[in-house]
Structure 1
Amino acid sequence: MPSRRHRILRSRALALLAAGPLAIPLGPAAAQAQSAARSGEAVTLEELSVSGDGEGVGQGVGPGIGQGAGRASGGPPRAAAPTPLDKPVGEVVTSIGREGVIDNRAATTVADILRNSPGVTVRQGNGPRDIVVSIRGNNARATGVSRNMVVLEDGFPVTQADGSSRFDLTDPRAYNRIDVFRGPQSPFFGNFATGGALNFVTRRGAEIDGVEVGVDAGSFGYLNNYTAIGGLSGPFEYSLFASDTRGNGFISHNSFDTQTINFLGTYTPTPDNRFTLKIINNTLFTLLPGRTSLNQFAINPFQRGCLTAASAAAGCTTFNLLANGRFGATVPVTADQGAFLRDDRRTIVGARWEHDIDAFTTWRTQLVFDDRNINQPFYTTAARGDFPGFNFLSDVTRRGDLFGLPATGYVALAYNTLDSFSRTYNRVLGAGPALGALIADQDTTQANFGGRARAEVQLSDRWIAVAGISAENTTIDGSNTSYSYAAARTTTTIANVNRSFLNVAPELALLYRPSEAWQLRGRVATGYSTPSAGNLFVTPAGVPGNNTQLRTQENLGFDVGFDWTPVETLRLSVTGFYEFFRNELITQSPGAGLLSFTFNAPASEHRGVEVGASWAFAPGWSATAAYTYDDQVYTRYVEQLSAGTRSTRFDRAGNKIPGVPANQLLARVGYEQRTGPLAGLGGYVETVFQDDFFLDNANLLRAPGYSLVNLNLHYATDLVGYAKRLNLFFEVRNIFDRTYVASAQNLANSISAATGLQNGAAVLANTNGSVFAGAPRNFVGGMKLSF
């Protein structure tokens, strides 16, 4: 017979679970949970959430649970789109909401939002919204595609089967919040989640409840016209966001325009069935400036006077194009001469069916079609390709008892695949972005198939235990045909790949809540990230060829932390992490105009501390901070460098991993007038600090750090009549007009062909193809009308 204690726990859990899904509360929070359950609201014991009106934060227990799942039959139909990843117990998650981050400023890219989360590094990519995001330094070395994380929107994956994510399609105005999962997350998300995951949550139709029309305008010709339409009608809920964004850019040859459509619709025919449709379409056209060397950045950071190579001002970067597009003599060109650009499209269509089998069991099935089409003639090569893929997920979540203890169980089956049809051409000087000879023809298929399981068990009033595991098989099959040209002949080289990777990732977590104010947590988890097909066909020389020896990147991470909320107005969260990597995938550039290549570092360690805090220290006043200390070192890696007939090996053990700043901080102090004739008027000052970081494995050259100060003023008021609400804002960014490095590609070290000695920092500092400058002082303002 179950003990009296177990009977009490079981009856309490059943009472709460019958009212809706929730992360089972701990001890002193039980009264709050019961009250929330009676009102249809779910509760979690979450880590610090830097959020505004973060509707849905904390709802659900595990992946696959939407709001209201498991509701007793007979309740009213719920026509709200489910959010399947609402902060599961045991994960280190920060949620960033709209207030002060999106609503009251022109968040031109997701970088403006994600800086508010500890552990996140953001860099400028190759396009206006092409932000390279890394979590805990994973992926900090990339300059375009983001890897080592899984990205979702409303629970639908927008990471393709090769692990690639791009943020061109993410207009920040569309979102209600972003959840940042930090640390190894493969037990929960599968392949590529060694660094973590992001879940973008769009605004619900009921929240918009009408029509919103807005415009943001600012320096350098920036203009964003956008609209949001949403509503709730019987069993239907819908939200549609559309924007047209364009600008001249603050670097020469960097004008752009991009259009985005983002739709989320839900149909709830019965209380136990919910159908969701997700559509995203983004088109992008942007001119691209040349990435400079560090020395060129110091002389001419914004590439002024660089129309032609012949008349170029000091510090202009040039790239050498083959005069005939095939072999032989080269011609130096600037970005304007070479007509460097990107002309891309991304289309995603997803559908999901959620079915409540009974009051405690939810079954969810979803299918996503994702097509990425690229035309990228920039620098010395041009890439053209189409990358269609599918992503399938079916999972079951069960809320009930495990050995008499309240528990939530989750099992999932996942499959995704991507066909890559990619052609690479030499560039040649001509009218527009003229193409030379074909140098690589790649046709591959990459697929991931696996299963995941997870259990959350409330051991007592104060303790929760979590265990999870995933197992997944990844296959890469295909070939790359590369062509090299000479006057006498054309040489064709075929590199075939037929690789299979089997990976398993477990996790364990324990949460303890000794009082209402304190939550203590510990977690040990693993992650894996296989190479993508594209990594396998670029050699360390930076040219198409065979690089098929790459292995799976694996990491084992330990997290220990606490959340402290002594009063409602003060929240502090601290997390320490220590992660051990094996075969870490590192990407770097071998030099100007060459393709970046990827290699495995046999062993490395990442360790650090993440701190998040918010404090409403006086009526109307508040302060927010997000700080990260991240120390990454090689513990076992010998690098071989070659030049001419000489080769030399260098032991990099103990060196810092390039691309990762040791210290980052966002700090904000603001004021909001809550009452009186000036109610709705507010503002804040924020500083963004990032440490310097090494650009090379030998730790010879550093990209300088920076500290920026931004000022924001905003006003919001309700209106009487046809229009319901008015929002206004004005912002000065980089008030002190600092010149800083917004992005820097890691550089490969080299040796002298004559002596075999390693070249010094002066050689690296003169190697172009690395640096983009950040925006100088600029102004942006906007308004939004709600009807």
Structure 2
Amino acid sequence: MTSLSPAPAAAPALSTLPFAIALALVSCSAAALAASPAEVQAPAASPTTLDAVVVEATRLRTVPAFDTPASTATIDLEGERSTAEGDVSEALRGVPGLLARDRQNLAQDTQLSIRGFGARATFGVRGLRLYADGIPASMPDGQGQLSHFSLAGAERIEVLRGPFSALHGNSSGGVVSIHSADGQAGDPWRLRATVGSDGTWTGAARLLGGNDVVGYNLSLSRLDTDGWRDHSAARRDVANLKLGFDLGERRRLDLVLNHVDIPEARDPLGLTAQQMREDPRQAVANAYVYDTRKSVRQSQAGAVFEQGFGQAQALRLSAWGGDREVTQVLPIPPAPQRNPLHSGGVIDLDNRYAGYDARWSWSGALAGRPLELAAGLSGERQRQHRRGFENFVGESLGVRGTLRREERNEVESDDLYAQAWWRFAPHWSLLLGARRSEAAFTSRDHYVTAGNPDDSGRVDYAETSPVAGITFAPSEHLRIYASAGRGFETPTFNELSYRADGGAGLAFGLRPAVSDNLELGMKWRTPAGGLLEAALFRADTDDEIAVASNVAGRSSYRNAGSARRQGVELSWWQPLGEAWDLQLAATQLEAEFRSGAADTGAIAAGRRIPGVPERHAFARLQWNDGGAWSAALEAEAMGEVMVNDAGTGSAAGYGLLHVEASRRWATASGPLRVFARIDNVLDRDHVGSVIVNEGNGRFYEPGAGRSWLLGLEWRFDRR
């Protein structure tokens, strides 16, 4: 087995935190509640769950996250942050069970997984549901993107893990939702700029305000970088506008406009183990020969209308639409493209999408006990124009050549869902729900030649996802819960695009993956004013969708039999006196194939699922005495990650340290803050992410070495 071991500091032995520890925490917590805890307050930009927080991802209007039988995290983005805000992975550090990896490659977007779901993605996000201001950032086929998340204008990020994610439909192994702040009269405007290593700089502005009738939030940001690796220069511009209208009599309308532009982000491609050891900053030769690059442009608009009826009922209507254009140049040599079935080395995608969601909710009582009901329906449409071109003209490489593929693809999905929460006894509550999802994938081939037959076709998927959870509240400050549910994930159009056997046409033989999920957890507000959470979870999946091959940026997929993901998550936020805060998060995850598919025989039972570390942990110690200065120390550790289904290669675990500090000055026009941060203080070589089953052995995407950042933030008070 090939093991790439660039990091002398191995990950700490988190295996000493087995399931038994979480169970012990559950059993002993009630006895530890003799003292009444102080009111929990969230530190800036730290994941936590407060009693007063109603997490919208649970789709409950009146029930705080603390009382739900689900693992949730709310990340406050309104506080002072000493990061570049250039990648959403910066904000998602410290959420147990979640991995957000900056690939040092804007051409491939952030790699995101929750409890092992989504880890197979070679680009974009799979297996998870994403939302931005209530508008899906996941396409109807399950493909999602984080590139247009606007951290500059955001107020918070919500994360939902576990069985109740299934109520969001297709590809809901977890939910990540970003929310922009609502503008109000007197809100300060904010200007922000950073400079850092490798020619990286960012600039951002948030204009926030309003009056009694309308509120506005306009955010503009730019990230420009030469890239830590060679041939990885990129620029990303994001604009986000949210307008909120108070129409009186419990009526509200929100309008959201969003635009992202990433012109020709260079792609350095993955490295082999030998290349990683020789020079982790290098790009492979083909990256230069073909000038591998990717351009993305997306614009979308959405509207959310809410109407209350009396004190008990509410209706929420939302609609959205947008267009996403992607052009990518791949490093495929001309020789393979002589095959009449080959679709070329330049991908040109135009996705147009639209959808709606209508939800009714009611809050009342049943048998004298609080009850909340919700029911809704949603529909989404995606129209994709996919073209493929040769990546050469004569002797010129890396340019758009002759057309080799053209098809019109469509996805239509229609869902019905309902849920009910009932506190049926003084210390007990029940949450039930179900969702019926139907999706139709259709492809019409417009490139038909004598050597390339008509590959048109259609496939339909349907699944019912029930969920149930129960919560026990032995005291005001302790919750113990159990939940179960079924989720499913269809292949995306990108996964249907190429057949694993190399034949012509789409891979309509791929089946959806269906998962049965279980979770046991507890939430405890500690006597010292902190919050401790623990969860045991298991997900058994049939027809696991896995990468069959990945060559030169082109991936094909197959159903790989059954799989199991099980583990334990722990998170703890604790104030330490008046000036110090401690945040800890740890995850142990066993993700393995339980049986190989009969038609592949390539994956042995018990083989670890690639792209998923067995353990990872995060710690942050923050100091702020209430004065002008603040500082923080962060540590993160990652276990070994397998890189392919065969289990013949791995990326070694590592441990990293980061430090930051800031100084604030009061001015006549509002506070001015200067901040600095050093990531990877010890300059450890490490693998930041892997490309699962990469056919040329270029599995490894190195993480950045020691890097620095200086920033300036001014909150302009207009009052």
State the TM bucket, normalised to the shorter chain. 0.7 to 0.9
Deviation, structure 1 residue 141:
1.8
Aligned match of 2:592: 633
Between stretches 521-530 and 203-212, larger displacement belongs to 203-212
Residues 465 and 511 of structure 1 are in contact (CA less than 8 Å); yes or no, is this contact kept in structure 2? yes
Deviation, structure 1 residue 518:
1.5
Q: Please point out which of 314, 321, 338 is paired with 2:290.
A: 338
User: Does structure 1 residue 424 correspond to structure 2 residue 388?
Assistant: yes
Residues 426 and 439 of structure 1 are in contact (CA less than 8 Å); yes or no, is this contact kept in structure 2? yes
Q: Please point out which of 392, 397, 412 is paired with 1:447.
A: 412
Q: Please point out which of 589, 614, 633 is paired with 2:573.
A: 614
**SS state of the match for residue 455, structure 2?**
strand
**SS state of the match for residue 295, structure 1?**
helix
State how far apart, in whole Å, the 2-side matches of 1:399 and 1:437 are.
Answer: 60
User: Does structure 1 residue 295 correspond to structure 2 residue 274?
Assistant: yes
State how far apart, in whole Å, the 2-side matches of 1:460 and 1:254 are.
Answer: 58
User: Does structure 1 residue 90 correspond to structure 2 residue 90?
Assistant: no
State how far apart, in whole Å, the 2-side matches of 1:708 and 1:583 are.
Answer: 36
Structure 2 CA distance for partners of 1:292 and 1:483, relative to 1, 3 Å: farther
Structure 2 CA distance for partners of 1:174 and 1:698, relative to 1, 3 Å: same
Aligned match of 1:328: none
State how far apart, in whole Å, the 2-side matches of 1:302 and 1:61 are.
Answer: 39
Residues 129 and 168 of structure 1 are in contact (CA less than 8 Å); yes or no, is this contact kept in structure 2? no
Q: Please point out which of 366, 369, 375 is paired with 2:318.
A: 366
Structure 2 CA distance for partners of 1:155 and 1:521, relative to 1, 3 Å: same
Q: Please point out which of 621, 638, 649 is paired with 1:701.
A: 649
User: Does structure 1 residue 58 correspond to structure 2 residue 54?
Assistant: yes
Residues 143 and 743 of structure 1 are in contact (CA less than 8 Å); yes or no, is this contact kept in structure 2? no
Equivalence map 1:264-275=2 (5 Å): 264-275=242-253
Cα deviation 1:449-492 (Å, max 9, x = unaligned): 011000000112211100000011111111346779xxxxx611
Deviation, structure 1 residue 594:
5.6
Q: Please point out which of 249, 259, 283 is paired with 2:227.
A: 249
Amino acid at match of 2:239: I
Cα deviation 1:421-460 (Å, max 9, x = unaligned): 0112232276684123333222111011011000000112
Equivalence map 1:174-573=2 (5 Å): 174-185=153-164, 187-193=166-172, 195-206=173-184, 209-285=187-263, 286-303=265-282, 317-318=284-285, 334-380=286-332, 381-428=345-392, 433-480=398-445, 491-541=451-501, 545-573=505-533
Between stretches 541-550 and 145-154, larger displacement belongs to 541-550
Aligned match of 1:670: 622
Deviation, structure 1 residue 563:
1.2
Deviation, structure 1 residue 543:
7.4
Residues 522 and 535 of structure 2 are in contact (CA less than 8 Å); yes or no, is this contact kept in structure 1? yes
Deviation, structure 1 residue 288:
1.4
State how far apart, in whole Å, the 1-side matches of 2:550 and 2:100 are.
Answer: 23
User: Does structure 1 residue 688 correspond to structure 2 residue 688?
Assistant: no
Identical aligned pairs, as a percentage? 20
Structure 2 CA distance for partners of 1:51 and 1:349, relative to 1, 3 Å: same
User: Does structure 1 residue 160 correspond to structure 2 residue 160?
Assistant: no
Aligned match of 1:9: none
State how far apart, in whole Å, the 2-side matches of 1:784 and 1:605 are.
Answer: 46
User: Does structure 1 residue 742 correspond to structure 2 residue 701?
Assistant: no
Structure 1 unmatched ranges of 5 or more: 1-28, 37-42, 68-84, 304-315, 319-333, 485-489, 642-648, 749-763
State how far apart, in whole Å, the 2-side matches of 1:112 and 1:61 are.
Answer: 21
Deviation, structure 1 residue 183:
1.8
Structure 2 CA distance for partners of 1:446 and 1:208, relative to 1, 3 Å: farther
Residues 60 and 66 of structure 1 are in contact (CA less than 8 Å); yes or no, is this contact kept in structure 2? no
Amino acid at match of 1:782: G
Residues 247 and 256 of structure 1 are in contact (CA less than 8 Å); yes or no, is this contact kept in structure 2? yes
Residues 154 and 181 of structure 2 are in contact (CA less than 8 Å); yes or no, is this contact kept in structure 1? yes
Structure 2 CA distance for partners of 1:710 and 1:525, relative to 1, 3 Å: same
Amino acid at match of 1:364: R
User: Does structure 1 residue 657 correspond to structure 2 residue 609?
Assistant: yes
Deviation, structure 1 residue 246:
0.4
Deviation, structure 1 residue 655:
1.0
Structure 2 unmatched ranges of 5 or more: 1-32, 333-344
Backbone CA RMSD of aligned residues: 2.8
State how far apart, in whole Å, the 1-side matches of 2:634 and 2:154 are.
Answer: 22
Residues 559 and 597 of structure 2 are in contact (CA less than 8 Å); yes or no, is this contact kept in structure 1? no
**SS state of the match for residue 90, structure 2?**
helix
State how far apart, in whole Å, the 1-side matches of 2:293 and 2:624 are.
Answer: 43
Between stretches 286-295 and 218-227, larger displacement belongs to 286-295
Between stretches 152-161 and 360-369, larger displacement belongs to 152-161
Deviation, structure 1 residue 138:
0.7
Deviation, structure 1 residue 173:
2.8
Structure 2 CA distance for partners of 1:62 and 1:435, relative to 1, 3 Å: closer
State how far apart, in whole Å, the 1-side matches of 2:212 and 2:261 are.
Answer: 34
Cα deviation 1:9-37 (Å, max 9, x = unaligned): xxxxxxxxxxxxxxxxxxxx9xx9xxx9x
Amino acid at match of 1:423: R
Deviation, structure 1 residue 114:
1.2
Structure 2 CA distance for partners of 1:146 and 1:162, relative to 1, 3 Å: same
Aligned match of 1:325: none
Residues 184 and 211 of structure 2 are in contact (CA less than 8 Å); yes or no, is this contact kept in structure 1? no
How many corresponding residue pairs? Answer: 663
**SS state of the match for residue 390, structure 2?**
strand
Deviation, structure 1 residue 52:
8.2
State how far apart, in whole Å, the 2-side matches of 1:434 and 1:129 are.
Answer: 20
State how far apart, in whole Å, the 2-side matches of 1:402 and 1:60 are.
Answer: 23
Deviation, structure 1 residue 619:
2.5
Residues 668 and 686 of structure 1 are in contact (CA less than 8 Å); yes or no, is this contact kept in structure 2? yes
State how far apart, in whole Å, the 1-side matches of 2:561 and 2:643 are.
Answer: 19
Deviation, structure 1 residue 493:
2.7
State how far apart, in whole Å, the 2-side matches of 1:352 and 1:199 are.
Answer: 15
**SS state of the match for residue 491, structure 2?**
coil
Residues 186 and 192 of structure 1 are in contact (CA less than 8 Å); yes or no, is this contact kept in structure 2? no
Deviation, structure 1 residue 778:
0.7
Residues 49 and 65 of structure 2 are in contact (CA less than 8 Å); yes or no, is this contact kept in structure 1? no
Aligned match of 2:14: none
Q: Please point out which of 533, 537, 541 is paired with 1:581.
A: 541
Aligned match of 1:773: 702
**SS state of the match for residue 780, structure 1?**
strand
State how far apart, in whole Å, the 1-side matches of 2:368 and 2:567 are.
Answer: 39
Amino acid at match of 1:707: G
Deviation, structure 1 residue 115:
2.0
User: Does structure 1 residue 142 correspond to structure 2 residue 121?
Assistant: yes
Residues 222 and 238 of structure 2 are in contact (CA less than 8 Å); yes or no, is this contact kept in structure 1? yes
Deviation, structure 1 residue 727:
2.0
State how far apart, in whole Å, the 2-side matches of 1:693 and 1:544 are.
Answer: 33
State how far apart, in whole Å, the 1-side matches of 2:713 and 2:288 are.
Answer: 36
Residues 61 and 87 of structure 1 are in contact (CA less than 8 Å); yes or no, is this contact kept in structure 2? no
Report the structure number with the largest CA radius of gyration.
1
State how far apart, in whole Å, the 1-side matches of 2:550 and 2:107 are.
Answer: 25
Between stretches 621-630 and 407-416, larger displacement belongs to 621-630
State how far apart, in whole Å, the 1-side matches of 2:650 and 2:145 are.
Answer: 26
Structure 2 CA distance for partners of 1:207 and 1:465, relative to 1, 3 Å: farther
Deviation, structure 1 residue 263:
1.0
State how far apart, in whole Å, the 2-side matches of 1:697 and 1:518 are.
Answer: 42
Residues 130 and 167 of structure 1 are in contact (CA less than 8 Å); yes or no, is this contact kept in structure 2? yes
Aligned match of 1:17: none
Aligned match of 2:18: none
Aligned match of 1:756: none
**SS state of the match for residue 510, structure 2?**
coil
Residues 62 and 410 of structure 1 are in contact (CA less than 8 Å); yes or no, is this contact kept in structure 2? no
